[in-house]
């Protein structure tokens, strides 16, 4: 489990201090696919880089599996980082190395630890053990990311999606418990994004790796994440399960990410907006026809969206009703157990 306690990060510059993170309290449970979403400049990339101390927090603590990482010595930190894989938006592959040698690279850096798994061996046997271990591990990972046929290719010969698959395989080389993904799909087209997200979901399920995904796209969160934190102006605006936040966003930033700006900006002198929330229990209720037939309320549908999140149909609908019909509409919705809130 990853715990962030009162985490803060401030950058100093000639023009003054810039606060990137402020009093972040967050728990990432083991086994989750945890999304951290926010607009550009909100602090989400700084947050994920503070988890493995690529950025050292100015204040607060990062506690991983009960150990305060921020208090660790550099030697201990280097050991702890082997349990945290990371992938980036721009892949960061070594262009002069083949796919296989890119995946092998973390094993080379941790050679002493790898060889130690073989027990007491002579120098010759150590070299053979290391060679055999690396070959087996690389082949295993390339099968996992479905790139066995690209083993001897170079990064320049790969598509963007294939490069990210190599980066994922490399991040898993040392069998980490956690995988940090910093805008890992932002440079990819929609179809490739979908395949990479499916791969991350499979890795989470098959290997039990806890995945943290940094993104500015709600679609990424909806498609694979179990939990989400919304960050705005360097602070956590809200967090919860994806179903909870998608169904009932409380903060302005979450509403902005979930409901299109165009719909939120519509104003009417004579009408009121109601946001209906479907949590999977009454998604088959004929709301619009019921409002008209039973209550005589005419409603204009401004927006509707339904998602399949974690196997449940969840969604919301934004209606515009005449101000004089607002009370009748609310009474009807309440009587039929349809969750709603007035959009102000």
Divide the 344 residues of the chain into consecutive groups of 10 and give the mean pLDDT of each group.
95 84 94 93 90 93 94 90 91 94 94 77 80 94 96 95 96 96 88 93 95 91 92 92 85 80 56 80 72 86 77 78 88 86 68
Q: Which CATH number characterizes residue 332's domain?
A: 3.30.70.260
> Is 289 found in the same domain as 194?
no
Instruction: Write the burial class of residue 105 (CB in 10 Å: 0-12 exposed, 13-18 middle, 19+ buried).
Output: middle
> Is 281 found in the same domain as 210?
no
> Is 239 found in the same domain as 175?
yes
Q: Both tokens of residue 107? A: 């094993």
**Cβ count within 10 A of residue 110:** 16
> Is 218 found in the same domain as 307?
no
> Is 164 found in the same domain as 61?
yes
Which neighbouring-strand residues pair with 340?
276
Q: Are 22 and 11 in contact (CB under 8 A)?
A: no
pTM: 0.85
> Is 306 found in the same domain as 222?
no
Residue 120 counted as domain residue: no
> Is 289 found in the same domain as 224?
no
Dist. CA 158–CA 188, nearest whole Å:
13
> Is 169 found in the same domain as 30?
yes
Dist. CA 178–CA 31, nearest whole Å:
9
The parent domain of residue 226 ranges over 2-106+133-244
Which neighbouring-strand residues pair with 275?
318, 341
Residue 252 counted as domain residue: no
**Quick one: pLDDT at residue 97?**
96
**Quick one: pLDDT at residue 281?**
67
User: Looking at the 3D structure of the chain, how many domains does it have?
Assistant: 2
> Is 335 found in the same domain as 186?
no
Residue 199 counted as domain residue: yes
> Is 270 found in the same domain as 238?
no
> Is 221 found in the same domain as 101?
yes
Q: Count Cβ neighbours within 10 Å for each residue of 20-40 and write b for 16 or more, e otherwise.
A: bbbebebebeeebbbbbbbee
> Is 46 found in the same domain as 149?
yes
Residue 154 counted as domain residue: yes
Angle at 34 between CA 177 and CA 26, to 5 degrees: 95
């Amino acid at each position: 489990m990853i715990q962030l306690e009162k985490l803060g990060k401030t950058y100093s510059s000639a023009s003054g201090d810039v606060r990137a993170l402020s009093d972040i309290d967050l728990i990432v449970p083991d086994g989750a696919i945890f999304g951290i979403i926010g607009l550009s400049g909100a602090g989400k990339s700084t947050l994920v880089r503070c988890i493995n101390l690529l950025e050292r927090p100015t204040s607060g603590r990062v506690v991983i599996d009960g150990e305060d990482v921020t208090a660790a010595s550099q030697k201990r930190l280097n050991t702890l980082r082997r349990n945290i894989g990371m992938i980036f938006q721009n892949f960061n592959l070594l262009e002069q190395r083949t796919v296989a040698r890119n995946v092998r690279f973390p094993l080379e850096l941790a050679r002493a630890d790898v060889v130690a798994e073989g027990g007491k061996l002579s120098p010759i046997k150590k070299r053979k053990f290391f060679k055999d271990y690396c070959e087996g591990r690389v082949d295993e990972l390339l099968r996992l990311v479905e790139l066995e046929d690209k083993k001897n290719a170079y990064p320049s010969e790969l598509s963007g999606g294939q490069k990210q698959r190599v980066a994922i395989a490399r991040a898993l080389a040392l069998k980490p418990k956690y995988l940090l993904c910093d805008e890992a799909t932002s440079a990819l087209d929609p179809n490739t994004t979908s395949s990479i997200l499916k791969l991350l979901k499979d890795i989470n399920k098959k290997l039990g790796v806890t995945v943290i995904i940094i993104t500015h796209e709600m679609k990424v969160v909806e498609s694979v994440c179990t939990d989400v934190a919304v960050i705005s102006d360097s602070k956590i605006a809200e967090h919860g399960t994806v179903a909870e936040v998608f169904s009932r966003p409380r903060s302005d930033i979450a509403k902005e990410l979930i409901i299109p700006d165009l719909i939120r900006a519509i104003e009417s002198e004579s009408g009121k907006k109601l946001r209906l929330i479907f949590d999977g229990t009454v998604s088959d209720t004929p709301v619009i026809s019921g409002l008209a037939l039973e209550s005589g309320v005419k409603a204009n549908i401004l927006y509707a969206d339904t998602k399949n999140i974690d196997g449940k149909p969840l969604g919301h609908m934004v209606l515009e009703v005449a101000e004089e019909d607002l009370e009748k509409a609310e009474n009807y919705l309440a009587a039929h157990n349809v969750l709603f809130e007035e959009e102000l």
